[in-house]
Amino acid sequence: QTGMFTYDPGFLSTAATQSAITYIDGDKGELLYRGYPIEQLAVHCNFLETCYLLLHGDLPDATQKADFTSLVTNHTMVNEQMQFFLRGFRRDAHPMAVLTGLVGALSAFYHDSTDINNPQHREIAAIRLIAKMPTLVAMAYKYGMGQPYMYPHNHLNYAGNFLRMMFGTPCEEYQVKPVLERALDRIFILHADHEQNASTSTVRLCGSSGTNPFAAIAAGVACLWGPAHGGANEAALTMLHDIQAQGGVEKIGEFIRQVKDKNSGVKLMGFGHRVYKNYDPRAKLMQETCNEVLAELGLEKDPLFKLAKALEKIALEDDYFVQRKLYPNVDFYSGIVQRAIGIPVNLFTGIFALARTVGWIAQLNEMIGDPEYKIGRPRQLFTGSTRRDVLPLAERR
């Protein structure tokens, strides 16, 4: 019995982590952040309110929301030296390689927030990381484009500031489109935390050594990059482009045949999940956002969106996928929304990392805040050779 939830003793004895932050019921397709359903947070709250909730355990009141927003807004700039760190990369470096480096490099600048065992340091590091991730992601993008960096503007909100740093130039005023601001804010909320996924477990294990918060979050960025995890939105859009190039909706049958052929190694990217054996609740919300953005931008006839909906319909009716409980996950539609916003495919996982930073920090702080925590040491079952002696070189076969 842990709080409101009961688990069988067998599960508890093997469960590596107990946490009070995010609850997923994979069979019901339910996702709660600190008890609040994701469907309600996505409609009634913005991303910074969700950040406050994940970090502090409850939604902020009006004063707390205003204070937290002001604190984050006033920490959005990064040290001017960071731009010289970027210059070491090739212009065509993958943005996730750049972001992994930039986040780790924050450790070299903010010494008053690097002692992970100091609650004040953790508090400041959390604000700095949430505030600076949009600036760093936009810098990685601008560096690749060969365009000047745009400094944050404190009169804009979190998503609007990021859009301007990404797509604004010093040559003219950038007008933030409210529909894009809302879509981005929702994408951030939907990706903010997801209990003990691969990158969160990486951050916990890394932070358990007592390293600084920036280094632990950089480890999470590196893990999220993988195509089986946060890289799936980039892979899902690439998959849709490939099917489109091979003939689009008419060719879906051929593609599905390849997926069913185990030897092909082809997966339906954006489908399936380690935990959800029902529809990922985030995917439904992402599809709604997709509809809204494409309609507002007059892109509802976007061939990739039509292809995605046709692929989803077939997968939801095909026994192969139904038997394996393969439903669309958060990554299936997020790529289409981000593409409509103008975000390049190779930056999709950077957006995911930007959003997930608050979840990583909340989970790291929950672990470090527990006086019983110790350095992680995953168990192993040894399957190698039994003891044997070294033979002289001449006798080795």
Which one among 271, 305, 333, 360 touches ligand SDX, defined by CB under 6 A? 271
Q: Which is nearer to ligand SDX, 125 or 232 (CB)?
A: 232
Residues 170-199 that bind ligand SDX (CB under 6 A): 194, 197
Q: Which pair of structure tokens corresponds to residue 385?
A: 């050779």
**In contact, 38 and 281? CB cutoff 8 Å:** yes
Residue 213 CA to residue 7 CA, distance in Å, equals: 31
Binding of residue 274 to ligand SDX (CB under 6 A): yes
Binding of residue 273 to ligand SDX (CB under 6 A): yes
- CA dihedral of 385, 388, 390, 392, whole degrees rounded to 10: -110
Which one among 324, 342, 369, 370 touches ligand SDX, defined by CB under 6 A? 324
Binding of residue 41 to ligand SDX (CB under 6 A): no
Binding of residue 113 to ligand SDX (CB under 6 A): no
Interface stretch with ligand SDX, choices 61-69, 98-106, 261-269, 389-397 (CB under 6 A): 261-269
Interface stretch with ligand SDX, choices 42-50, 168-176, 321-329, 387-395 (CB under 6 A): 321-329
Binding of residue 268 to ligand SDX (CB under 6 A): yes
**In contact, 216 and 207? CB cutoff 8 Å:** yes
Residue 167 CA to residue 141 CA, distance in Å, equals: 9
Residues 213-232 that bind ligand SDX (CB under 6 A): 228-229, 232
Q: Which pair of structure tokens corresponds to residue 14?
A: 């093997």
* Shortest spacing between CB 74 and ligand SDX, in angstroms: 29
Q: Which residue is nearest to ligand SDX (CB)?
A: 272
Nearest to 19 by CA among 54, 49, 46: 54
> Hey, which residues are catalytic here?
273, 331
Nearest to 353 by CA among 75, 54, 100: 100
* Shortest spacing between CB 127 and ligand SDX, in angstroms: 23
**In contact, 234 and 348? CB cutoff 8 Å:** yes
* Shortest spacing between CB 324 and ligand SDX, in angstroms: 4
Q: How does DSSP classify residue 370?
A: S
Element (H, E) at 33: strand 30-33
Residue 108 CA to residue 214 CA, distance in Å, equals: 9
Q: Which is nearer to ligand SDX, 135 or 201 (CB)?
A: 201
Which one among 99, 163, 326, 343 touches ligand SDX, defined by CB under 6 A? 326
Nearest to 362 by CA among 125, 183, 182, 169: 125
* Shortest spacing between CB 119 and ligand SDX, in angstroms: 27
Residue 60 CA to residue 388 CA, distance in Å, equals: 62
Tell me which residues touch ligand SDX (CB under 6 A).
Answer: 194, 197, 228-229, 232, 259, 267-275, 324, 326, 329-331
